[in-house]
Amino acid sequence: MRPPRLTTRGLAFLAAGLAAAVAAVVLGYPDITRIGVLLAALPVLAVLTGWRRTPRLGVRRGVAPDLLWPDGEATVTLEVRNEGRRPTLPFLAAERLDLVLGETPRLVLPRLRVGERHAVTYRLHPARRGVYALGPLALELRDPFGLTRSGLEPGEQAELVVLPRVHELGGARLPREGDAGDWHVPHSVAPQGEDDVSTRHYRYGDDLRRVHWPATAHRGQLMVRQEERPARRRATLVLDSRARAHWGTDEDGSFEWAVSALASAAVHLGRQGWSLSLVTSETVREGTAARVLGAEAVLRELARAQVDWGDLDPVLHAARELPAGAVVAVATDHDEPALRRLVPARPYGAAGVLLLVRAETFARGALAAPAGA
């Protein structure tokens, strides 16, 4: 809670009271002195009593649905409960929202008895993807004379996730590997006790019991055994989110097109039974790029994607470390050397698809068309 503060009226009362009291003492008018002291004391008493009148409110916020596509509708339900020991006064409340979600909903909360609940609803129509915080609820408290003002923000925030736009890709399938038409599925076997066991670099979160000490001593860095695991199709999705490579971050910018393209690929591959890994600047920083995800989880992650001022190399390095039967990357034609560095990100024998964004067409305000490679 913000402490009670004097309003303009309260400051005027205080100044007028002090001025009247000083003038009356100087001129010798005791009755006016008492009036001045009373005027000056009213704002002070209002500040002191403002602490005692602070209500204890519990706020619960429900969002249905909490996952949306752009231009969808979500209904937010606010339930306010008086958890204090005395009834509350009527309040004017405002729900704090991101500017992208539209105007701030303003609500009137009636007088609540002890333990009484009051529910209000409002609707949102977000137009673009993102993860938006809903709340907290901001209450403005005033004394009956309007001399003080204080703020209260009870309860916690809720979250609304707006997924990227997804476009239907038809019946296209990734190219197959091998003459027999089998999918290339990288896998490795770690026989217990053998020195030439398949190993890889240690990743944060790996079980230390899997550390392969001979390989660690040979290479000078922690190496772990590759466990035998059932074969499955796994695709790596790579997003070029460099700010200097894109034109515009609004709905019609190249970055939003790139996110939408990768989201469409994730849904398409998920329907075909592929397990997915998402490599972006966010997942690399958070150490989650190696996680195996479903299509919906990928869409949730892409809803959070933002342009990054860093380099593409950490993303490419993380992509090279992942075993995959296919790599799908979205990049711009802004930086040809970076495109050449994309090639080693595809494991040997794996299928590769590059969706190339022609940045100059976005600079002219036109839409770009994908080019496969």
pLDDT in tens, 351-365: 889 888 887 777 655
pLDDT exceeds cutoff 50 at 369: no
Average pLDDT, stretch 304-325? 89
Verdict on whether the full-model pTM lies above 0.75: no
Q: List 151's β-bridge partners, or say none.
A: 140
Q: Which value, to the nearest 10 degrees, does the dihedral of the CA atoms of residues 288, 291, 296, 301 take?
A: 10
Residue 184 placed within a domain: no
pLDDT exceeds cutoff 80 at 96: yes
Residues 298 and 225 in one domain: no
pLDDT tens, 172-221?
A: 777 654 333 344 444 434 333 334 457 888 876 677 777 888 888 888 88
Residue 189 placed within a domain: no
Find where tokens 């003002």 sit.
149
Q: What is the mean pLDDT of the chain?
A: 82
Residue 292 placed within a domain: yes
Residues 283 and 312 in one domain: yes
pLDDT computed for residue 192 by the predictor: 39
pLDDT computed for residue 347 by the predictor: 76
Residues 6+ apart with CB under 8 A from 27: none
pLDDT computed for residue 187 by the predictor: 43
pLDDT computed for residue 86 by the predictor: 87
Residues 109 and 208 in one domain: no
Work out whether the CA dihedral 28, 29, 30, 35 comes out positive or negative.
negative
DSSP state string for 69-121: -TT--EEEEEEEEE-SSSPPPPEEEEE---GGG-SPPEEEE----TT-EEEEE
Nearest to 236, CA basis, from 199, 284, 189, 274: 274
For residue 110, what is the domain's CATH number? Answer: 2.60.40.10
pLDDT computed for residue 2 by the predictor: 65
pLDDT tens, 244-303?
A: 888 876 777 889 999 999 999 999 999 999 999 999 999 999 999 999 999 999 999 999
Domain interval for residue 273? 234-364
Residues 6+ apart with CB under 8 A from 192: none
| Band (321; pLDDT cuts 50, 70, 90) | confident
How far is residue 109's CA from residue 81's CA, in Å, rounded to a whole number? Answer: 10
Average pLDDT, stretch 225-244? 76
Residues 112 and 61 in one domain: yes
Residues 19 and 115 in one domain: no
Residue 36 placed within a domain: yes
pLDDT computed for residue 244 by the predictor: 84
Residues 267 and 287 in one domain: yes
Question: Amino acid letter at 335?
Answer: D
Domain boundary, last residue among 188, 213, 229: 229
Nearest to 13, CA basis, from 145, 137, 101, 167: 145
Residues 156 and 269 in one domain: no
How many percent of the chain have pLDDT more than 70? Answer: 86
pLDDT computed for residue 232 by the predictor: 57
| Band (222; pLDDT cuts 50, 70, 90) | confident
Residues 341 and 245 in one domain: yes
Residues 6+ apart with CB under 8 A from 144: none
Structure tokens given for 158 = 């809720």
pLDDT computed for residue 181 by the predictor: 36
How far is residue 136's CA from residue 259's CA, in Å, rounded to a whole number? Answer: 29
Residues 127 and 208 in one domain: no
Q: For residue 348, count CB atoms less than 10 angstroms from its CB and return exposed for 0-12, middle for 13-18, buried for 19 or more.
A: exposed
Nearest to 255, CA basis, from 344, 133, 162, 128: 128
Residues 18 and 112 in one domain: no
How many percent of the chain have pLDDT more than 90? Answer: 35
Find where tokens 């600079």 sit.
363
For the chain, the domain total comes to: 4
Q: Which value, to the nearest 10 degrees, does the dihedral of the CA atoms of residues 88, 93, 95, 96 take?
A: -110
Residues 257 and 329 in one domain: yes
pLDDT exceeds cutoff 90 at 30: no
| Band (350; pLDDT cuts 50, 70, 90) | confident
| Band (166; pLDDT cuts 50, 70, 90) | very high
Nearest to 198, CA basis, from 232, 239, 226: 226
Specify whether the CB–CB gap between 131 and 151 falls below 8 A.
no
pLDDT tens, 100-157?
A: 888 888 888 888 999 999 999 999 999 899 999 998 988 877 777 888 888 788 888 8
Residue 177 placed within a domain: no
Distances (CA, A) of 62 to 70, 78, 104, 304: 19, 7, 17, 21
